[in-house]
Amino acid sequence: MATMTSAPEASPTPRADVRPPARTRRGRKLRDNLTGYAFLLGAIFCFALFQWFPMIRGIVMSFQHTRRGVTTWVGFDNFVRIVRDPSFGTAWKNTFYFTVLALILGYAVPFVVAILLNEFRHFKGYLRILVYLPVMLPPASALFLFKYYAYDPSDAGLFNAVLKFLHLPTSEWMQSPTMTMPAMVIASTWMNMGAAVLIYLAALQNIPGELYEAAELDGAGLLRRIWNVTIPQTRLILALLAMLQIVATMQVFIEPLILANGAGTQDSATSVAYLIYQHGFFQNDLNGAAALGVIMLLVLAAFSAVYVRLTTRQD
């Protein structure tokens, strides 16, 4: 080393294989970070504008009032007005009722269907395509089919014709306040269950066959194998989908809007989401609608917190 001439040391730029001095290393790191954020810029911009900012703004709006371009803070006035809306109680009652009915029908059915489909060795692709087909239809299209053809209250309607053929009592469907909710849940389940079935099917395929083998050797019957192998093995996905479904059905909107023209017979279809829509876009009460949105967020957050706590405590 000592014999080296001074020429390379005098070289102003470091060679590639020599560790660069600290200053350029820091410069390089800065440049790498800037490049990284340059790639992120478009997405961050859109997230900020249409997700992060509106989330905060919704909360801020719910405590404000805007009249003729002048915004003032009004405390809890919007919340009081919304809670006093005569439809407020009905909307929550309907929404909970829809959620519970959808859970009974729309939650158990896809799981049973998935267990059944997983056993078949023939027509696998065909059955899968059938279940998922309604998911691909635009909801507005599917709901007009239900509204005009299936739920036709006369005997010319599809459902009434089938009921009559089976010598069962026919129904007025959407014109009967008691049938409105079940009818909406049937339509909603028909439209949406395909996704849940496919997710369950994927989960069922991940269950190691040896578990069933062992259970059978131990003398476990069919139901016992479902109860002691299938359900524990798919527990996580079952718990997750239950929560996702409840959060989704609590926001039910297009079913009442199209099937029941919004409120339905004797207010039997009004949902919380529909009330948000009414306040925000028909009664020119965007602040009240934002307040109702905040209430909905609190209810869903409280529910999710309790749910997560309950499902994880079982471990």
Identify residues 48-87 at the interface with other proteins (CB under 8 A). 49-55, 57-58, 61
User: Is the CB of 93 or the CB of 225 nearer to other proteins?
Assistant: 225
Q: Give least dist CB 74 to other proteins, A.
A: 16
Q: Which of 91, 114, 150, 185 binds other proteins (CB under 8 A)?
A: 150
Structure token digits, residue 241 = 């989908």
Q: Give least dist CB 63 to other proteins, A.
A: 13
User: Is the CB of 178 or the CB of 218 nearer to other proteins?
Assistant: 218
196-225 residues in contact with other proteins (CB under 8 A) are 198-199, 201-210, 212-213, 216, 222, 225
| Cross-strand pairs, 71 | 66
Q: Give least dist CB 50 to other proteins, A.
A: 4
User: Is the CB of 97 or the CB of 303 nearer to other proteins?
Assistant: 303
Q: If DSSP states are collapsed to H, E and C, what string results for the chain?
A: CCCCCCHHHHCCCCCCCCCCCHHHHHHHHHHHHHHHHHHHHHHHHHHHHHHHHHHHHHHHHCCEEEECCEEEECCCHHHHHHHHCHHHHHHHHHHHHHHHHHHHHHHHHHHHHHHHHHHCCCCHHHHHHHHHHHHHCCHHHHHHHHHHHHCCCCCCCHHHHHHHHCCCCCCCHHHCHHHHHHHHHHHHHHHHHHHHHHHHHHHHHCCCHHHHHHHHHCCCCHHHHHHHHHHHHCHHHHHHHHHHHHHHHCCCCHHHHHHCCCCCHHHCCCCHHHHHHHHHHCCCCHHHHHHHHHHHHHHHHHHHHHHHHHHHHCC
User: Is the CB of 101 or the CB of 292 nearer to other proteins?
Assistant: 292
Q: Which of 35, 71, 283, 284 binds other proteins (CB under 8 A)?
A: 35
Q: Which of 11, 165, 166, 313 binds other proteins (CB under 8 A)?
A: 165
Q: Which of 63, 85, 128, 172 binds other proteins (CB under 8 A)?
A: 128
Any contact of residue 105 with other proteins (CB under 8 A)?
A: no
Any contact of residue 238 with other proteins (CB under 8 A)?
A: no
**Quick check: 287 and 230 in contact, CB under 8 A?**
no
Q: How many CA atoms does the CB half-sphere of 246 hold within 13 Å?
A: 17
Q: Give least dist CB 6 to other proteins, A.
A: 31
**Quick check: 176 and 182 in contact, CB under 8 A?**
no
Any contact of residue 133 with other proteins (CB under 8 A)?
A: yes
Q: Which of 85, 96, 134, 228 binds other proteins (CB under 8 A)?
A: 134
Q: Give least dist CB 152 to other proteins, A.
A: 9
Determine the interface stretch with other proteins among 72-80, 81-89, 193-201, 307-315 (rule: CB under 8 A).
Answer: 193-201
244-303 residues in contact with other proteins (CB under 8 A) are 247, 250-251, 253-254, 258, 272-273, 276-277, 280-281, 286, 289-290, 293-294, 296-297, 300
**Quick check: 98 and 185 in contact, CB under 8 A?**
yes
Q: Give least dist CB 87 to other proteins, A.
A: 16
User: Is the CB of 250 or the CB of 260 nearer to other proteins?
Assistant: 250
